[in-house]
Amino acid sequence: MTKTLLKVSNLAKSFGGATALRDISFDVAAGEVVCIIGPSGCGKSTLLRCINHLTAPDSGFVEVAGSYIGRERKADGKLRMQSHREIDRMRPKMGFVFQQFNLWPHLSVLENIVKGPIKVQKRPRAEAEEQALALLQRFGLRDKAHMFPSSLSGGQKQRVAIARALAMGPELMLFDEPTSALDPEIVKEVLLFLRELADSGMTMVIVTHEIGFARHVADRVVFLDRGYVAEAGPSNDVLSNPTNPRLREFLSQITSDQPAAGKGSSPAAEQPIH
C-alpha cells in the first residue's frame, strides 16, 4: 500500500580504525516518521550524514524515491560511484536539519530560505520569496523575515532551518538531534511542531536520544547498537516491550532521568517485561 521512500541497505562506515556503522539496513515508507535511537556514540548522526552523503559511506547503498545517492548498483550488479554533480543534485531531495541549525549568520531569515531555490534550482527570486514567506507564515515567523538569525531564539532558528530545507521541496526530512541544542522547556513545543509537520504528510527520519520524544512522534523506531540495527519496529512495541537486552538496558538508563511520562512513577518499574 505505502511505497518505500528511503531504502538503506548494508550501510557501513568507519573512521580510521573506529567503526561507526557496520551493517545498517532499514526502509522508510512515504509519510512515515522514524526515530533512530541508541546510546551516544553508536553512530546515529553518522548514519544520518551517510544517508544524504554529507559523509560518504564505505559500502552499502542509499535509495531515495528509487534513485541512488553516491553509490549506485547498476543493472548488471556492478558498483558505480556517482559524480559530485549527481550527488549534489540528489541531496536536496532530503531536507537536512542540523543539530546546531547552521543558519547562515550573514544572511537574513528570508535570504537563508531563498538561497537554495535561487542558486541551486535557479528559480526566479519573486517566486522563491513568495514561497519562503508562505513557509514563514505557516511557522509563525512572518515578522522575522528580515531579521538575522542571531536575533532569533533557538526554537525559531530551528523552524527557519526547517523552512530552509522545505523550500527545496524535499521528498523527506532528516533531523539530527532536534531537541539537544534547545532549552528543555521548549522541547515540547518542538515535539508538537514536528508532529504537525508529520501530520501534513512529510516523511521524517529523526535521530534522537530522547525516548519520550520518540514515543510521541515516531511511527517506528530503529535502535542502533555497535553499528548494527539491534531492533526495529513500531514505536509502541519496541519501546514498551523491548526484546533486545541492550535496548532494555538503554531504556532503563534513559527513563530514569525522564519526567514520569504518564506511566508508573517508579523509574525502575517503568518497563514491565511481559
Binding segment (CB under 8 A) for another protein, from list 15-23, 147-155, 197-205, 232-240:
147-155
Amino acid residing at 137: Q
Q: Which of 46, 52, 203, 208 binds another protein (CB under 8 A)?
A: 52
Instruction: Kindly state the smallest distance separating residue 63's Cβ from another protein, in Å.
Output: 18
Instruction: Kindly state the smallest distance separating residue 160's Cβ from another protein, in Å.
Output: 11
Instruction: Kindly state the smallest distance separating residue 183's Cβ from another protein, in Å.
Output: 7
Q: How far, in whole angstroms, is CA 168 from its chain's centroid?
A: 16
253 and 210 in contact (C-beta within 8 Å)? no
**Beta strands 59-64 and 203-207, pairing class:** unpaired
Instruction: Kindly state the smallest distance separating residue 114's Cβ from another protein, in Å.
Output: 11
In the β-sheet with 33-37, what is the strand arrangement from edge to edge?
Answer: 67-68, 59-64, 4-15, 18-29, 228-234, 220-225, 33-37, 203-207, 172-176, 94-97
Residue 160 makes contact with another protein by CB under 8 A:
no
Q: Which of 23, 88, 130, 199 binds another protein (CB under 8 A)?
A: 88
Of the pair 96, 213, the CB lying nearest another protein is at 96
Our CA angle for 204, 206, 210, nearest 5°, is 140
Residue 89 makes contact with another protein by CB under 8 A:
yes
Q: Which of 105, 245, 259, 262 binds another protein (CB under 8 A)?
A: 105
1 by DSSP, 3-state: which? coil
With 0-12 CB in 10 A as exposed, 13-18 as middle and 19+ as buried, what is 248? middle
Q: Which of 60, 92, 212, 227 binds another protein (CB under 8 A)?
A: 92
Residue 29 makes contact with another protein by CB under 8 A:
no
Instruction: Kindly state the smallest distance separating residue 267's Cβ from another protein, in Å.
Output: 27
With 0-12 CB in 10 A as exposed, 13-18 as middle and 19+ as buried, what is 28? buried
Instruction: Kindly state the smallest distance separating residue 91's Cβ from another protein, in Å.
Output: 5
Residues paired with 71 in a beta bridge: 81
Residue 102 makes contact with another protein by CB under 8 A:
yes
Distance CA 178, CA 174 (A): 10
Residue 10 makes contact with another protein by CB under 8 A:
no
Residue 82 makes contact with another protein by CB under 8 A:
no
DSSP state of 260: -
| Interface positions with another protein (CB under 8 A) | 52, 54, 84-85, 88-89, 91-92, 95-96, 98, 100, 102-106, 115-116, 119-121, 147-148, 150-151, 153-154, 164-165, 168, 183, 185
